[in-house]
Structure 1
Amino acid sequence: MIPEVIHIMEYILYIYLSVSVGYIVLFSAASHFFKQKKYPDAPVLQRFIILVPAYKEDAVIHACVTSVLRQTYPAELYNLIVISDHMRPETNASLRKERISLIELHEKESSKAKALRIAAETITNQTYDYVLILDADNLISPCYLQELNKATSQGIKAIQTHRKAKNMNTDIALLDAAIEEMNNSIFRKGHIRLGFSSALTGSGMAFDFRWFVRNIIHTHSTGEDKELEELLLRQGIHIEYIDTLETLDEKVRQPDALRNQRRRWIASQLFLALKMGRNLPTALAEGNGDYLLKTLQAFIAPRSILLGLIGFFSCILCIFSPVSSIKWWILLILLNGALYLAIPPNMRYKYMSRILRQTPYFVIIMLLNLFHLKGMAQKFNHTQHG
């Protein structure tokens, strides 16, 4: 009786993990057929408000501000607001000398969502067309707003740009950069290619101004980008992805920073899964394909955990039940192949050996993170930059 129960449990787990792997394989393959839309030059120039939440970001905020203020876009058509939270007085003093608005926060409990909500309150009665959200460690090119304007002038209400690593100076940073590009392939290019919305990723995000000020008040977790994504999809608003418009983002350099960051992200995913699960009947009734796909994505296991679990069962069953292990080995091969294809060719050829060296460590810390998730979705955990 006990072996039969174990056998049934193995098959149930296999089916769940197969769905997760199938999702990754499908969208990784689709990403290779992605073609970026070409937006024509826009005769109308949109007005942009750029929000940069900055919690203890003294080391990087000036570089970010400089990259925003050197835009070729007409200066009178965009404004920059830095939301300074617990930054040093001398940093704030130097920022006041720039052509920006500065909001100083001294919150007992800080969060990016709270910073954005407070900033939104200050611009509610102002006239802008789009809101662009950047992180304090981001850098953008001088023609960034000019290119973004081409897309926004087409009436697109939500856009995710290509967030790309600005540093790969340690093996951990390189691994983080590779994971970012996998996400771009699977959850952005792959999604768009098959007619679904792009996933949001925290920065380099542009939203219709009126939509943003009405909806940012509903974000309260550490995964504010995922909450915004859920709100967009629930309202039937498509999220576009511009692969050619790069937002440079600093990758974590140290193992502890990577572990804490990913633990927060797993907790946010679980929080989102529970939230979206409750709205699933409505999405089904309305035929909201974007929302249904996002709900499925929220419930699939992270890729590192897939690698750990599938690899474990492949090896164990190879010893105790060689025939049963075959299906697990096939699943493991499919997963590895899809992840390999999701990494850009230039990164694969140049850095693959270094990425592979760090992968076992990353799988282990992600599995251990599963036991330390309590309260992480509401607990702000700052990633140090600079």
Structure 2
Amino acid sequence: MDTLIWFLWYLVQIVVLFQLIFPVLLWALWLVFRRKHTLPNPAPNQIDYAVIVTAYEYTNTLAAAVESILKADYENYIVYIVADKCDTSNLVFNDSRILILTPPEILGSNTASHNYAVSKFIRKHDRLTIIDSDNLVHPQYFNELNLFSNELAIQGVRAAKNLNTTIACLDAARDMYYHFYDGQILYQLGSSATLSGSGMAFEVEFYTTFLKNNKVIGAGFDKVLQNYIVSRGIRIAFSANAIVYDEKTSKSDQLIKQRARWINTWFKYFKYGFSMAYNGITGLDRNQFLFGLILLRPPLFLFLIASVCFLLVNSWIDPLMAIVWLVGLLLFVTGFFISLFYGKANDKIYRSLINIPYFVYHQVISLLKSKSANKHSVATNHYHSQSIGTLKENNDEN
């Protein structure tokens, strides 16, 4: 029995330690193999886009989101605003390409809103792209997506729209970490970028087939969608320059509710990683194998807390293993700063890192509330409705 207990003790440590150093291992592989992958294949003509903008309860940022789309260096699109449970009396757009859709019944989910928008398409589009009501679209967003003309699924970058609080800065730092390792590196190593919920584009027929066959209730439609895509042997492309500016969480209560939903979806869907990794091994599919390993990874704060606990315990019972954990944590920290370097993080983000324990504390509170997360409203109230011009001025100041 003692032997079994010690075996399990070290097995759990090995699993957590692997997750801790996995990003740096990916980075090392990326440095060696990234040049072997082909460059994007640009479309010869403007692709026809359906731009689906989803809003639930709140519309205060919609005008700025639509303005940013209209100011994009692109013409061939129709914008479908799905205003679910929204007062649209103050929404007036003097452009025939903007359609406001008000569902007769409350939809209450992303996929339902997307389905409703698809049912109202006024013409046959080539692609659809999904934008949140708090997003701002970079002027070159559509042109950058068009560089991946042969791809069925593309994920862009959700850059920070606001860095007004410590929480917002730490949220932006977290996103840079995921964009680099789960986006750029994974894709350029022959796997797929993980989906982020918005700033993504799909071939219309492919996405509508997904909607018909998958009724996702509550949060996590992007988890189901990415499993649907990669399990079929299809890669999700990553476009580092197809940028939407996303409002980062700036208040502690907002952070707790949002993260509670996200943690809930990880526990609900991480099981996909087992079958994905297994199929990758048996089918010799690099895409599925690497992506499966990523799906099995818990939220950052969970394995960081576990790592510190293992370090402390081993400092009493196994000093050599404690040294291993110390090295592992240092490698993780190095990998985190590498992602910030490639993401060109500004000084405000670097200065905020001293408050990571405060951020982790709120994540722990979110964990405790995650079981009932889907009982909370799916709406997130947004506070920053600046235009692209104002955003550029603020970024220049930083």
The answer for the alignment partner of 1:210 in structure 2 is: 205
**Does structure 2 conserve the Cα–Cα contact (< 8 Å) formed by 1:304 and 1:362?**
no
The answer for the alignment partner of 1:313 in structure 2 is: 310
The answer for the alignment partner of 2:111 in structure 1 is: 113
The answer for the alignment partner of 1:264 in structure 2 is: 261
- Helix, strand or coil at the partner of 2:73: coil
- Helix, strand or coil at the partner of 1:200: coil
Matches within 5 A, 1:221-370: 221=217, 222-277=219-274, 284-344=281-341, 350-351=347-348, 354-370=351-367
Residues 98 and 129 (structure 1), Cα distance of their counterparts in 2 relative to 1, 3 Å cut: closer
Residues 18 and 320 (structure 1), Cα distance of their counterparts in 2 relative to 1, 3 Å cut: closer
1:52-104 deviation digits (Å, cap 9, x = unpaired)? 11112321000001111223323xx2100000012224234x25876411111
1:292-336 deviation digits (Å, cap 9, x = unpaired)? 322222222222222211112212332454344222222222222
**Does structure 1 conserve the Cα–Cα contact (< 8 Å) formed by 2:196 and 2:222?**
yes
The answer for the alignment partner of 2:9 in structure 1 is: 10
The answer for the alignment partner of 1:383 in structure 2 is: 380
**Cα distance in 2, alignment partners of residues 37 and 137 from structure 1:** 34
- Helix, strand or coil at the partner of 1:73: coil
Which stretch shifts more, 40-49 or 341-350? 341-350
Question: Structure 1 residue 171 and structure 2 residue 166: aligned?
Answer: yes
1:225-266 deviation digits (Å, cap 9, x = unpaired)? 121111111121111111122111111110121122222112
TM normalised by structure 2 equals 0.85
**Does structure 2 conserve the Cα–Cα contact (< 8 Å) formed by 1:129 and 1:209?**
yes
Shift of 1:39: 4.5
Q: Which runs of 5+ in 1 are unaligned?
A: none
Which stretch shifts more, 65-74 or 160-169? 65-74
**Cα distance in 2, alignment partners of residues 83 and 160 from structure 1:** 21
RMSD: 2.8
**Cα distance in 1, alignment partners of residues 30 and 376 from structure 2:** 34
**Cα distance in 1, alignment partners of residues 355 and 14 from structure 2:** 28
**Cα distance in 2, alignment partners of residues 321 and 211 from structure 1:** 53
Shift of 1:279: 6.3
TM normalised by structure 1 equals 0.88
**Does structure 2 conserve the Cα–Cα contact (< 8 Å) formed by 1:185 and 1:342?**
yes
**Does structure 2 conserve the Cα–Cα contact (< 8 Å) formed by 1:159 and 1:242?**
yes
**Cα distance in 1, alignment partners of residues 274 and 250 from structure 2:** 35
Which stretch shifts more, 224-233 or 27-36? 27-36
Shift of 1:105: 2.9
Paired residue total: 379
Shift of 1:186: 0.7
The answer for the alignment partner of 1:78 in structure 2 is: 77
- Which residue identity is paired with 1:374? K
- Helix, strand or coil at the partner of 1:251: coil
1:156-211 deviation digits (Å, cap 9, x = unpaired)? 11111121101111111000111111001110111022111111111110101110
